[in-house]
């Protein structure tokens, strides 16, 4: 299964390199880093953007109780959606898999009033047009519960890029706070970014 995941990921990269944004899936260390200190016992709805072959999805499902927490994933690539649907069948996991763009996160809500506790993102913002980055961040803020958390990761070498600096400024502007921690055990090394919706 491990090889199958990597092979499918590389195939996805070759088909659409700018949308996938990385040649290999994230490491289990990055999965641990992006989910650190999340109290899953309190979560009702978790949304993941850009699950790919599901390295974070697996950790999300393993960490949460099937009866209490629903994991909803939004993936742009039809090939990855097909892979995820086979890997995480809905008769075994409390999961909703939707093929869409993360900016349309409102479409995955059960009602206009429903809110999300945590959003985990793997989106390759480096390759996003700015309008889509902005729409995604604002839509994420809107669907989060007060106190809810948004986490994404950025590759360390992309931090100086003007687009990434602009993203960090946008996060600070929209959420009013940005925290971060590094994960060197990933190819390439990454930094996890966290924002909390305080009001
Ligand atoms: C860098 S890969 C990360 C995959 C996996 N989460 C990991 O960490 O190994 C980025 C993923 O985001 C997906 N993606 C790109 N743009 C997207 C968008 N606008 N909405 C949802 N998914 C998107 C890609 O198809 C790909 O699966």
35 Cβ inside 6 Å of ligand 1: no
Cα-to-centroid distance, 75 and ligand 1 (Å) = 6
Give the model confidence (pLDDT) of 37-51 as tens digits: 999 998 999 999 999
Kindly report the pTM of this predicted structure.
Answer: 0.95
Cα-to-centroid distance, 74 and ligand 1 (Å) = 9
DSSP at 142: H
Give the model confidence (pLDDT) of 104-138 as tens digits: 999 999 999 999 999 999 999 999 999 999 999 99
Domain ranges of the chain: 2-177
Which residue is closest in CA terms to ligand 1's atom 13? 50
Structural class in CATH, domain 2-177? alpha beta
Cα-to-centroid distance, 112 and ligand 1 (Å) = 25
Instruction: Name every residue whose Cβ is closer than 8 Å to that of residue 137 and which is 6 or more positions away in sequence.
Output: 167, 170, 171, 174
Q: Please, is 199 exposed, middle or buried when counting C-beta atoms within 10 Å of its C-beta (0-12, 13-18, 19+)?
A: exposed
Cα-to-centroid distance, 91 and ligand 1 (Å) = 24
Question: Tell me, what's the pLDDT at 8?
Answer: 84
φ/ψ (deg, to 5) at 116: -105, 140
């Amino acid at each position: 299964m491990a090889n199958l995941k990597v092979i499918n990921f590389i195939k996805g990269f070759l088909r659409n390199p700018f949308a996938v944004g990385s040649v290999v899936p994230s490491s289990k260390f990055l999965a641990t880093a992006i989910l650190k200190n999340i109290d899953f016992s309190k979560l009702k709805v978790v949304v993941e953007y850009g699950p790919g072959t599901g390295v974070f999805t697996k950790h999300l499902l393993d960490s949460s109780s099937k009866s209490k927490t629903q994991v909803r994933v939004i993936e742009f690539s039809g090939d990855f959606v097909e892979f995820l649907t086979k890997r995480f069948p809905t008769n075994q996991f409390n999961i909703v898999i939707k093929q869409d763009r993360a900016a349309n996160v409102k479409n995955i809500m059960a009602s206009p009033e429903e809110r999300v506790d945590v959003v985990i993102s793997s989106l390759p913002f480096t390759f996003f047009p700015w309008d889509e980055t902005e729409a995604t961040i604002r839509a994420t803020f809107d669907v989060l519960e007060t106190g809810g958390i948004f986490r994404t990761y950025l590759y360390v070498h992309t931090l100086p890029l003007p687009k990434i600096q602009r993203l960090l400024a946008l996060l600070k502007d929209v959420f009013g706070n940005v925290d971060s921690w590094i994960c060197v055990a990933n190819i390439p090394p990454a930094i996890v970014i966290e924002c909390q919706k305080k009001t």
